[in-house]
Amino acid sequence: MKTLDDSSIKALISLLEDPNEQVYNEIHQTILALGEDGIVPLQNAFANSADPLQKERIVAILDGLKLNKLEADLNYWNEFNYTDLLDALYKITAYGYPNFDKKEVAETLNKIQATIREQIDINDPKGVIDIMNQVILYDFGFNGNIRNYSGINNSFINKIVENKRSNPIGLSIIYLIMAERLDIPLVGINSPGHFIIGYANDYFSYEDVEDGTIIDNISFFIDPFNNGQKIEVDDYDKWLLEVPYKLEDKKYLPATNKAIVKRVMNNLIYALFTTGEKTTAKRLLDINEALIID
């Protein structure tokens, strides 16, 4: 389709006030064909509209455009850029907040990184975690979102950084991003109950996480949602047996970036479903299920 200029797009959106369903259907398809170019004009029109019918139609079209963009973005990330966890989180956030300021998120993450780097001694693993806990949970004030454990904003990195609250995987992601930047051998653990982190004895490859062999090289575990509590391997194994969980299945617990993204998406889907956004939740579920974990 030929690209439309801003004035033409605004003219199309203005026609959404027309009660004629045939006119609406034609305009709907035309705006959908614009792809992501239609997102910002629709958001602006919604903010300035006083017409209930127009606003209702804008929401419907806008959601479709954002879902299409998220699907394309995540499919591309899943195939070509899956080693960059933060990039996937930005793509998910752009679904909920298309105009979010990536620079503000990056600035906070950079400050956390610099503060940790000044203090850590990589030869002292438990000391590294003590410093990460101090910096992330106390100096910068991140904490578990106990009051709104299933809230939608727990899945958006801009809101995690802004509110300094999230669910277990949201907090763990802050640790994992810092670990990637500072060469700290942390790995996500899809633990029963809630997501935690493992500290590896040595550096590892993405393939070590994919095939689960990394689990045999974990020195101890960390639970960011529980004030960064450190958990010894034997204690963790005892807890797994009480769940109950078969210890021979521990190799399935290490989480690749793809697995982390799918879990973040599942949390988002659940949050939308419980607030009544069942159609959107179903579409997001389809998008998430199409992501392939090698």
Residues 147, 247 share a domain:
yes
Residues 183, 116 share a domain:
yes
51: left (phi over 0), alpha (psi -120 to 50) or beta: beta
Give the pLDDT confidence of 30-75 residue by residue, as tens digits. Answer: 998 888 889 989 999 999 999 999 999 999 999 999 999 999 999 9
When the pLDDT of each residue in the chain is averaged and rounded to a whole number, the result is 94
Which of these three, 80, 101, 119, is where a domain ends? 80
Give the pLDDT confidence of 196-224 residue by residue, as tens digits. Answer: 999 999 989 999 999 999 999 999 999 99
Would the pLDDT of 2 be above 70? no
Other C-beta atoms lying within 10 Å of the C-beta of residue 56: 12
Task: Please tell me the predicted confidence (pLDDT) of residue 294.
Answer: 59
Determine, yes or no, domain membership for 42.
Answer: yes
Give the pLDDT confidence of 153-175 residue by residue, as tens digits. Answer: 999 999 999 999 999 999 999 99
User: Are 218 and 199 in contact, with CB atoms under 8 Å apart?
Assistant: yes
Q: How far apart are CA 149 and CA 24, in angstroms?
A: 39
Would the pLDDT of 116 be above 80? yes
Q: Residue 249's pLDDT band (boundaries 50, 70, 90)?
A: very high
User: Are 88 and 150 in contact, with CB atoms under 8 Å apart?
Assistant: no
Residues 113, 234 share a domain:
yes
Determine, yes or no, domain membership for 114.
Answer: yes
Task: Please tell me the predicted confidence (pLDDT) of residue 1.
Answer: 44
pTM for this entry: 0.92
Determine, yes or no, domain membership for 232.
Answer: yes
Other C-beta atoms lying within 10 Å of the C-beta of residue 27: 20
Q: How far apart are CA 43 and CA 27, in angstroms?
A: 16
Residues 260, 119 share a domain:
yes
Task: Please tell me the predicted confidence (pLDDT) of residue 40.
Answer: 87
Which of these three, 80, 101, 124, is where a domain ends? 80
Residues 116, 14 share a domain:
no
- What radius of gyration, in Å, describes the C-alpha atoms of the chain? 22
Determine, yes or no, domain membership for 124.
Answer: yes
Determine, yes or no, domain membership for 265.
Answer: yes
Q: Which domain holds residue 145?
A: 85-290
Q: Residue 3's pLDDT band (boundaries 50, 70, 90)?
A: low
Residues 228, 149 share a domain:
yes
> CB within 8 A of 2, min separation 6: which ones?
none
Residues 120, 208 share a domain:
yes
Which of these three, 80, 100, 130, is where a domain ends? 80
Helix, strand and coil content of the chain, in percent to the nearest 5, comes to 65, 10, 25
Determine, yes or no, domain membership for 1.
Answer: no
